[in-house]
Chains A and B, each alone.
Chain A
Amino acid sequence: MSTSVQSTTQTTSSAANQLPEVVYSPESPLAKPGKLVGDVFGDLWRYRELIWILFLRDLKAQFRQSYLGYVWLFLPPVMTTAIWLFLNAQQVIAVEETQIPYPVFVIIGTVVWQTFVKLLQSPVVSFAQGKPVFMKLNVPAEAFIAAGTARAVFEFLIYSIVLVPVFLTYQIMPPWTIVFIPLIVVTLMVTGTALGLMLVPIGSLYTDVQQAIPVIMGFLMYLSPVVFPPPRSGIASVVIAWNPMTPILMGTRDILTSGDTQHLMPMAAILVAASIICVLSTVAIRIVMPHLVARMGM
């Protein structure tokens, strides 16, 4: 019989003739929280190559079967912008006067919002796609999720290029505050991912979550200052004021155009909160993973 019995999860031994030893037991992995967190993030680092390969695989597969390829990434923000410009011009809806030209307002809003939605959907979608693999092989699901997030980030970089011609056309000179762009990008990424990760455990068991996301996101878009500035009174103004996306959307516009920094502090606060949620959710996914595999079927 075995000489030493280590408890839950992994211990790698340095001795040459000793093999890495793992013990699976009913005990909650939270009995050794430090080790658990170390394992989770150690795995993300150890599987960085797999993440990269999965990212490339999906990217290649997406464009190999299409003629227009990257055009499909540009189209959604351009189309949304076009629709709102049309509606506004036709007086079907009347958007309150904005500080910056309305087309610039809308296109920044849609780029940020679309990125947010993609990031939020990505973990649940990647998890569902990777399911056939990690239901049968011992591969961390986090690798599939991370590859999906990497792709959403890549797509964001591609379609944020549409902002360049818009800025040139309206001759907007970005102020010094554009040094905060990295803060915006990171906040946006982390917020979207944090919310997406929280949905994974429930979303993998119940299909309701995947069904609900597009419906709810379509609704939430109008509770965020994406295509119109926040109203000054009424219920909508209260909701929008408390919406965590508001500082991100408004802040992005401000630092790209007017140079107003009033949204930076709330944004930093959101970043901190979202980062904590991200870490906790990643650890939570690792903890519940065996239960998800057991319940998702054979």
Chain B
Amino acid sequence: MNNNLIVADRVSKKFCRNLRKSLWYGIQDSYFDLCGRTAKEALRKDEFWANEEVSFSVQRGQCVGLIGHNGAGKTTLLKLLNGLIKPDKGKVQISGRVGAMIALGAGFNPILTGRENVFVNASILGLSQKETRKLFDSIVEFAEMSEFIDSPVRTYSSGMMVRLGFAVATSLKPDILLIDEVLAVGDARFKAKSLVRISELLSRSAVVLVSHSMATVAQICDEVLFMEKGRLVSRGAPTSQIERYLCVAEDSVGTADVYGDEILGVELIDYSRDVHQGGELRFSVSLRSSEVNGLDSAIIGIVDQAGSQAAQTHVDIQENLRSEQRLSFVVNHLCLSTGRYSVNLNLYSNGGKKLCAKSINLFSFNATTRKHLYATYCPVGRVASE
């Protein structure tokens, strides 16, 4: 039997930059549909393709990650899959019940109690009252809200609210699950708990996940689609796509964004391409700044391919800097497992309080270790008997 629950076939969607025109085009499109005609495919003035020729399919048990910068069209694609908006070209085929982890706590009314809101929210998500009554206790227990369930929702903290919304949303058993950033909510302990709960859903649904957290994407996705300007530019295993994403994470590889008027520009001059275990990472940047810049510290961050911070260090800059200056940094005794890493650099003034310049992905380097970290398993019984 065919297992593709989601099939997107050359899906395209137009959007318009200008609000007034956008509304007017909306009226035009509506008019065409009301006359039973299909609108022309060509772009009108001020329009662009928010999604262009996107094709992919997802099977049950498969989790596809959508990554890309803001405005790459990820959310638009989710809306197309959810049937909220219709494609201008191509088509989307959906088989099965769709669940969306998108707006947690949809329809919550602040004046009503948590209990009443659970029923409203569940009903909006497609659960019948009968089903909700059956699931109610487990929802409240999971959200750890039994104490407050009869208080009005407006007395809840924002954390309590999302916990309740999350508990309701994850009590459904959809065939297809669309997730926009909300995988885990609440504090660290609750996050772990919610990840366990959601992983149960992941295994039995066809999942499309939109996320900017590369660590999450690397952890749970089987395949990653990398989007840029509405197009699907590449797809493949999470690690390769994430690397690609991080490489173009900022257009400004080798430079930094500047805040305030202390620093006018930062440019990468030289850096280590490869670092052995325990070795040094060296890099220099040239700094253009105003006469008095008061720059006094820097934070260097090292980020792995999954987007998680692997190391971070703080550096004091003691000398008074001139307007044109070369800044050199050396990170000693770097112990990283083999892989590719990128470097972030933040420069601060005013005693480390004011961020003057920030570079996400200043450059990337390869780390190599001669020895691999390894561990062996010792059965408890043997230790006890010896």
Contact = CB atoms under 8 A, between A and B. Distances in A.
B87 A292 contact: no
A295 B103 contact: no
Given A53-B123, A133-B103, A138-B98, A288 B30 contact: yes
A136 B84 contact: yes
Nearest to B32: A28
A5 interface: yes
Contacts of B87: 24-26
A31 interface: yes
B209 to A, nearest CB: 16
Contact of A20 (B15, B82, B96, B124): B96
A27 interface: yes
A135 interface: yes
A238 interface: no
B82 A138 contact: yes
Contact of B33 (A5, A29, A137, A298): A29
Given A22-B93, A61-B109, A201 B119 contact: no
A212 interface: no
Interface in A7-35: 17, 19-31
Contacts of B124: 50, 133, 137, 139
A284 interface: yes
Interface in A160-204: 201-202
Interface residues of A, number: 50
Contacts of A28: 32-38
B207 to A, nearest CB: 16
Given A26-B87, A137-B100, A205 B27 contact: yes
B112 A57 contact: yes
Given A21-B93, A26-B89, A138-B100, A201 B1 contact: no
Chain B, interface SS category: mixed
Classify chain B: how many residues form its interface, as a range.
35 or more
Contact of B94 (A24, A65, A284): A24
Interface in B129-169: 129
Interface string B37-66: 111000000000000000001000000000
A218 interface: no
A61 B116 CA distance: 11
A24 B91 contact: yes
Contact of B84 (A3, A58, A284, A290): A290
B96 A19 contact: yes
B91 to A, nearest CB: 4
B238 to A, nearest CB: 24
A68 interface: no
Given A26-B89, A49-B129, A132 B36 contact: no
A298 B71 CA distance: 11
Contacts of A92: none
Contact of B95 (A20, A25, A54, A135): A20
B123 A50 contact: yes
Contacts of A20: 95-97
Among B7, B85, B125: residue with most chain A CB under 10 A = B85
B312 interface: no
B120 interface: yes
A293 B83 CA distance: 10
Given A22-B83, A133-B106, A291-B33, A27 B38 contact: yes
Interface string A114-142: 00000000000000000011111111000
A72 to B, nearest CB: 16
B106 A294 contact: no
Interface in B2-45: 2, 4-5, 7, 13, 15, 22-23, 25-27, 29-30, 32-39
B7 A1 contact: yes
Contacts of B103: 132-133, 136-137
**Top 10 A-B pairs, shortest CB-CB distance:** A295-B26, A30-B36, A288-B30, A19-B96, A136-B103, A25-B91, A290-B86, A294-B85, A19-B95, A24-B92
Given A24-B87, A54-B120, 15 more contacts: A19-B96, A23-B94, A24-B80, A24-B83, A24-B91, A25-B90, A26-B39, A26-B87, A26-B90, A57-B116, A58-B109, A137-B103, A202-B27, A290-B84, A290-B86
Interface of B: 1-2, 4-5, 7, 13, 15, 22-23, 25-27, 29-30, 32-39, 57, 75, 79-80, 82-98, 100, 102-103, 106-107, 109, 111-112, 116, 119-120, 123-125, 128-129, 175
